[in-house]
Amino acid sequence: MAIYKNRLRSSFKVTWEAQDEISGSVKISNIDDSFSGKITTLPYRKNRLRSIFNTKLPKREVEETSIIKDTYVTDLTPTLNNGALEILQVGVDKEGFKYRTLIKMEVPKEMQNKYILKAELILTSNEQTGFDNLEVSLPNSDWQEYSVVWLGQPSRQKVLFSTNLEKNTYTHSIDLTDIVKEQWVFSKGENFGIILKAEDESKQQLIN
């Protein structure tokens, strides 16, 4: 089955007999996320069976999780910690100095018993300049918000993807569904957060 343009499409195969109702279920994923109900058969015409599948959609909720810690490091001040500052910076400035942001999000235990449809990181910028090829990666070790510096920053364990931040808007959304589900929930891997940096650190562009 598939979901296309907000419309649920599926197939349900049965062998029809002279019964008013046929019990069954529709499994829509390899997770425990199935629809159960009954098919009610209707009078048929021209050798075609018509039926209605009665079911209830599972309840969907939107839950906001908190940022545990965030900071940025820069080779402009390679031994200075910026954890106490209220801004984050990513990119390369006019002098060629690099800026990388570290963010760690909380994944509540109760979410591990739910089927996660989507997980997004919402960022708010001070300008509307956008950003080309923002790289999202996983750190290889934990880090401390008020002590991590450029010379002691964690390395990138795995590059996840690169994305563009649109111009003419202050709010940006980064889709983290796969990493939240596969790394931090289902496999229960270590959550060291993510690293945000410019994919090409020879290109001058900086966003706050």
Q: What is the pLDDT of residues 24-42, one digit of tens each?
A: 555 544 444 445 555 555 5
Question: In the Cβ-directed half-sphere of 40, how many Cα atoms lie within 13 Å?
Answer: 3
Residue appearing with tokens 């080309």: 132
**Could you tell me the pTM of the whole model?**
0.72
Reported residue count of the chain is 208
Confidence of residue 58 (pLDDT cuts 50, 70, 90): low
Confidence of residue 4 (pLDDT cuts 50, 70, 90): very low
Mean pLDDT (whole number) for 43-64: 64
The rounded distance, in Å, linking the Cα atoms of 38 and 21 is 6
**Residue 22, pLDDT score:** 52
DSSP for the chain, please give it. -EEETTEEE--------S-SEEEEEEE-SSSS-EEEEEEEEEEEETTEEEEEEE--PPP----PPPEEEEEEEETTSTT---TTSS---EEE-TT--EEEEEEEE---GGGGGS-----EEEEE-SSS--EEEEEEEEESS---TTT--GGGPPPEEEEEEEEEEPSS-SEEEEE-HHHIIIIIIIS------EEEEES-TTS-EEE-
Confidence of residue 108 (pLDDT cuts 50, 70, 90): confident
Q: Does the CA dihedral 46-48-40-56 come out positive or negative? A: negative
